[in-house]
């Protein structure tokens, strides 16, 4: 009798250990893979770990990372935001448009405009109870239409004056890294704190886990759902504005397919698409992984650049397959 | 009381897309020059045909509570494969393109049904990777099509109706019969309505899901072949771009709920026609592309709002 009890408790302790390991691999796997890839790449390619290349990867990652930060909150809440690519482009165009009245307007106009689109998404999802997938698909079209409407059907590309403060923020460097990179790091630090240490963050996790349960617990489900989409609109708009400042022009054709990169980065970073679980730090690792893979393929040289998307797609499939296995194991 | 209040909304949900088409056609008959001509009709139908073919597969996938984002990239793969094997004749080339589409569907189906990944991410992987693969196959190049049989498929007509339109009609009838009258169709709808209940009832859930994604892949490949024939060139970098969005729009506007359990084939046809009609109307009245996109966005939201009573419960 006693022996049986002991055996069961040992067995359950063993499963707990295995479960814990699986859960850990799912949450931190992207960081481990990223570290491995960086080590292998720096031994294989002389030019990989040079200052110029690292700066390059950092600045290329920063804009996607800011978009993916907002997307992380949306996906953790159980939703999805397909509109970020269009909103990103709109943010850039609005920044280039607003800068004629000064850098402050150039920064605020995209935030207000893109924040409004985020609020619209949030209102339709939270109050209207419409499917996030289809709501943000509609705003993907709508934001792109709005962008075309204010740029003479995409024919006008506004340039941003090089001596404006906003352009200098986009192009400047601090301690060797571009200022957008520092902004990205600060935003991610804030994102980590908000998700893990604030009531809002815990509420978002709860809503993603079970909306019904969160409602029954008396959490402000509607408000927080709205806020999540507002944040996503704001981050996408800010990323667009910074990218426009970096290139000193409001290019109208950017951002197509950006939503897919952002979703891929979030998922690779260990956030479950079903909502309720995920980390902000993992998303940063996911973004860096995508960009490092891209960079490595460029370094190989003999590989056609078309292989980039093949590898990214295959990588995404493998990651989600492993995640599905791990989350089953850790349950 | 509630039933009476809900009735107009239910009617609008089920028939709104047809009503909108009637209104738009009526408006165009009165206000648009050269609208009711055979030439214009053929142009519009030929333009909508590839979207409709993709949307038919999408309607089946959405009926299982899934979604297939990879269709545009599958079109590109089919378009890239076609010119590689045209030397062996048109039929073998088309057959290989369709086999490629079926394999893509098999990959999606395996990820969704066997591995258990959410359809959005599973098919996102192929959306990202598929177009790269197509460009690798085609060496990143646009290839002109000179095969007379394939050119005839794109431009030819039978009894005044373009082949492309006939193919779309034939496939619509086939999918309609599949959903309405076959065991597979009933199983598909049951699985979309309640997957765990269907599994408990002993339905072959995995097999039906796999088959559904394979059908979607094959239909996307057909659309890729059709688009290539019409374009008289294989252009893997742009063919099928954003078709996944157009197809999902057609399906949703046509009244198929995203929550699965219901497939409206004729509604999907109407949805595709309505979106085409809106774009054509705006263009004929010299309204810019931006207006067309904003109007389409509004229509999607209205369509989903009308379906809300079904999904919210």
Question: pLDDT tens-digit profile of B28-49?
Answer: 888 877 777 888 888 889 999 9
Per-residue pLDDT, A254: 83
Whether A153 and chain B come into contact, CB under 8 Å, resolves to yes
Return the DSSP state at B112.
I
Q: Min CA distance, B148 vs chain A (Å)?
A: 30
Q: Do A153 and B124 touch (CB under 8 A)?
A: no
Mean pLDDT computed over every residue of chain B: 88
- The Cα-based distances of A119 to A116, A223, B91, B221 in angstroms read 5, 11, 52, 38
A186 — contact with chain B (CB < 8 Å)?
Answer: no
Q: Which among A189, A231, A192 is positioned nearest to A74, based on CA atoms?
A: A231
Highest mean pLDDT among B111-120, B280-289, B296-305: B111-120
Are B298 and A124 a contacting pair at CB < 8 A?
no
More confident residue, A148 or B289: A148
Cross-chain Cβ contact A145/B308 below 8 Å: no
At residue A9, the pLDDT reads 43
Interface membership of A101 toward B (CB under 8 Å): no
Interface with B, mutate which of A133, A141, A329 (most B CBs under 10 A): A141
Q: Is the CB of residue A127 less than 8 Å away from at least one CB of chain B?
A: no
Q: Does A300 lie at the interface with B, CB-CB under 8 angstroms?
A: no
Chain A residues whose beta carbon lies within 8 Å of the beta carbon of residue B258: 131, 133-134
Whether chain B has a CB inside 8 Å of the CB on A129: the answer is yes
- Closest to A181 measured CA to CA, from A282, A287, A280: A287
Flag whether B50 is in a domain: yes
Name the E strands within chain A: 158-159, 173-174, 177-178, 249-250
Q: So what's the pLDDT on residue B109?
A: 95
pLDDT at B23 > cutoff 90: no
What is the pLDDT, as a whole number, of residue B312?
41
- Residue A1: its pLDDT value, please? 38
The angle formed by the CA atoms of residues A101, A105 and A106, to the nearest 5 degrees, is 90
Of B244, B197, B206, give the one whose Cα is nearest residue B112.
B206
Residues of B in contact with A273 (CB under 8 A): 118, 120-121
CB–CB of B132 and A308 under 8 A? yes
* Residue bearing tokens 């169709």: B185
Neighbours of A218 (CB within 10 A): 7
Number of A:B CB contacts under 8 A?
Answer: 141
Element holding A261 (H helix, E strand): helix A258-268
Domain limits at B159?
Answer: 40-312
The more confidently predicted of residues A84 and B139 is A84
Cα-only R_g, chain B: 20
Which is nearest to A276 in space by CA: A216, A202, A326? Answer: A202
Residue A7: predicted pLDDT: 42
pLDDT at A8: 41
Whether B283 shows a pLDDT value over 90: the answer reads no
pLDDT tens per residue, range B167-216: 999 999 999 999 999 999 999 999 999 998 999 999 999 999 999 999 99
Contact yes or no for A119/A234 (Cβ under 8 A): no
Q: Which residue is it, tokens 């990239």?
A: B73
For an interface test with A, the pick among B125, B296, B302 (most A C-beta atoms closer than 10 Å) comes out as B125
Comparing CB atoms, the residue among B122, B296, B308 nearest residue A129 is B308
- The whole-number pLDDT of residue B313 equals 35
- Which residue of B117, B130, B308 is in closest CB contact with A313? B130
For residue B274, the Cα-to-chain-centroid distance in whole angstroms is 14
Residue written as token pair 């800068």 = A99
pLDDT for residue B311 is more than 50: no
Q: Is residue A2 part of a domain?
A: no
Provide, as residue numbers in chain B, all residues whose Cβ is less than 8 Å from the Cβ of A321: 111, 115, 117
Count how many domains chain A has.
1
The tally of CA atoms less than 13 A away on the side-chain side of residue B146 is: 2
pTM: 0.85
For A259, name the nearest residue in chain B, comparing CA atoms only: B124
> A268 and chain B: CB distance < 8 Å anywhere?
no
**Mean pLDDT on B101-109:** 96
In this predicted structure, what is the pLDDT of residue B108?
A: 95
Of B121, B288, B304, nearest to A267 by CB-CB distance is: B121
Asked whether residue B53 carries a pLDDT value surpassing 60, the answer given is yes
Q: Is the ipTM of this complex over 0.85?
A: no
Q: With respect to residue A13, please indicate whether it lies within any of the assigned structural domains.
A: no
Looking at residue A3, what is its pLDDT?
Answer: 42
A105 to each of A94, A99, B13, how far by Cα in Å? 9, 6, 43
Mean pLDDT (10-residue bins), chain A, 331 residues: 41 60 73 85 82 87 95 94 94 91 90 96 90 88 88 79 82 84 94 92 90 87 94 96 88 81 89 86 92 83 74 82 76 56
So what's the pLDDT on residue A299? Answer: 78
With contact defined as beta carbons under 8 Å apart, do A244 and A251 qualify? Answer: yes
H or E element at residue B234: strand B233-234
Percent of chain B with pLDDT over 90: 46
C-alpha A22/C-alpha A326 separation (Å) is: 5
Question: What residues pair up with B144 in beta bridges, in sequence order?
Answer: B233
Look at residue B6 in the predicted model and tell me its pLDDT: 61
pLDDT for the residue A11:
45
Count up the domains in chain B and report the number: 1
CB contact under 8 A, B111 and A137: no
Nearest to B294 among A142, A264, A306 (CB): A142
**Is B11 within a domain?**
no
CA distance A130 to chain B (A): 7
Beta carbons of B119 and B68 less than 8 angstroms apart: yes
pLDDT for residue A4: 41
B161-162/B157-158 β-pairing: antiparallel
Of the partner residues B115, B125, B293, the one whose CB lies closest to the CB of residue A313? B125
Residue A1: inside a domain: no
**In terms of C-beta density within 10 A (0-12 exposed, 13-18 middle, 19 or more buried), how is residue A56 classed?**
middle
Looking at the partner chain, which of A131, A263, A264 has a beta carbon nearest the beta carbon of B304? A131
pLDDT at B71: 95
The CATH number of residue A314's host domain is 1.10.3470
- The answer to whether the Cβ–Cβ distance between B300 and A310 falls below 8 Å is no
The sign of the torsion formed by the CA atoms of A259, A261, A266, A272 equals: positive
Contacts with A55 (C-beta within 8 Å, 6 or more apart), sequence order: A173, A176, A177, A178
Residue B9 domain-assigned (yes or no): no
Q: Please check whether residue A198 touches B, CB under 8 A.
A: no
Q: Is A267 on the interface with B (CB under 8 A)?
A: yes
Indicate which CATH number applies to the domain containing B226: 1.10.3470
Q: How many CB atoms lie within 10 A of CB B156?
A: 13
Helix (H) / strand (E) containing B158: strand B157-158
Three-class SS state of B162: strand
Show residues of chain A in contact with B243, CB under 8 Å: none
């Amino acid at each position: 009798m006693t022996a049986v009890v002991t055996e069961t408790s040992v067995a359950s302790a063993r499963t707990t250990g295995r479960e814990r390991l699986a859960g850990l691999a799912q949450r931190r796997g992207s960081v481990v893979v990223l570290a491995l890839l960086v080590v292998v790449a720096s031994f294989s390619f002389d030019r990989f770990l040079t200052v110029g290349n690292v700066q390059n990867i950092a600045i290329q990652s920063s804009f996607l990372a800011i978009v993916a930060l907002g997307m992380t909150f949306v996906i953790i809440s159980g939703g999805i935001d397909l509109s970020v690519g269009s909103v990103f482009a709109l943010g850039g165009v609005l920044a280039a448009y607003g800068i004629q009245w000064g850098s402050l307007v150039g920064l605020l106009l995209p935030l207000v405009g893109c924040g409004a689109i985020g609020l619209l998404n949030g209102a339709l999802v939270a109050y209207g109870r419409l499917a996030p997938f289809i709501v943000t698909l509609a705003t993907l079209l709508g934001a792109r239409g709005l962008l075309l409407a204010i740029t003479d059907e995409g024919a006008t590309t506004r340039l941003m004056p090089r001596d404006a403060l906003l352009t200098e923020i986009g192009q400047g460097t601090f301690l060797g890294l571009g200022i957008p990179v520092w902004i990205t790091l600060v935003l991610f630090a804030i994102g980590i704190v908000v998700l893990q240490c604030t009531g809002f963050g815990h509420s978002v996790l709860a809503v993603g886990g079970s909306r019904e349960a969160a409602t029954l617990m008396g959490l402000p489900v509607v408000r927080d759902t709205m806020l999540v989409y507002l944040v996503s609109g704001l981050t996408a708009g800010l990323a667009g504005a910074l990218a426009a400042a970096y290139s000193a022009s409001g290019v109208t054709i950017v951002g197509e397919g950006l939503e897919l990169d952002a979703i891929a980065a979030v998922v690779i970073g260990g956030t479950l698409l079903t909502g309720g679980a995920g980390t902000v730090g993992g998303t940063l690792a996911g973004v860096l992984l995508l960009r490092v893979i891209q960079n490595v393929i460029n370094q190989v040289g003999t590989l056609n650049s078309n292989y980039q998307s093949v590898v990214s797609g295959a990588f995404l499939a493998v990651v989600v397959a492993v995640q599905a296995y791990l989350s089953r194991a850790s349950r | 009381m509630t039933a009476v209040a809900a009735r107009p909304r239910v009617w609008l949900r089920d028939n709104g897309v047809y009503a909108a088409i009637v209104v738009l056609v009526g408006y165009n008959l009165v206000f648009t020059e050269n609208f009711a001509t055979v030439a214009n009709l053929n142009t519009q139908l030929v333009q909508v045909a590839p979207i409709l073919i993709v949307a038919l597969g999408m309607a089946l996938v959405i009926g299982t509570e899934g979604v297939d984002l990879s269709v545009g990239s599958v079109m590109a793969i089919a378009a890239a494969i076609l010119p590689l094997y045209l030397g062996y004749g048109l039929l073998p080339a088309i057959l290989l393109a369709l086999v490629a589409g079926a394999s893509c569907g098999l990959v999606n189906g395996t990820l969704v049904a066997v591995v258990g990944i959410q359809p959005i991410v599973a098919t996102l992987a192929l959306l990202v990777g598929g177009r790269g693969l197509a460009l690798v196959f085609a060496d990143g190049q646009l290839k002109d099509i000179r095969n007379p049989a394939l050119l005839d498929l794109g431009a030819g007509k039978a009894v005044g109706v373009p082949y492309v339109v006939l193919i779309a009609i034939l496939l619509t009838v086939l999918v309609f019969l599949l959903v309405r009258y076959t065991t597979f169709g009933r199983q598909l709808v049951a699985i979309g309505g309640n997957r765990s209940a269907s599994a408990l009832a002993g339905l072959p859930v995995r097999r039906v899901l796999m088959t559904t994604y394979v059908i979607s892949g094959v239909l996307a490949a057909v659309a890729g072949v059709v688009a290539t024939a019409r374009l008289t060139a294989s252009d893997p970098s742009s063919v099928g771009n954003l078709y996944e969005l157009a197809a999902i729009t057609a399906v949703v506007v046509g009244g198929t709920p995203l929550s699965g359990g219901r497939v409206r084939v004729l509604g999907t046809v109407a949805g595709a026609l309505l979106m085409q009609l809106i774009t054509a109307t705006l263009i004929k009245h010299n309204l810019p592309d931006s207006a067309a996109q904003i109007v389409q966005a509004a229509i999607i939201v209205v369509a989903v709002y009308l379906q809300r009573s079904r999904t919210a419960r």
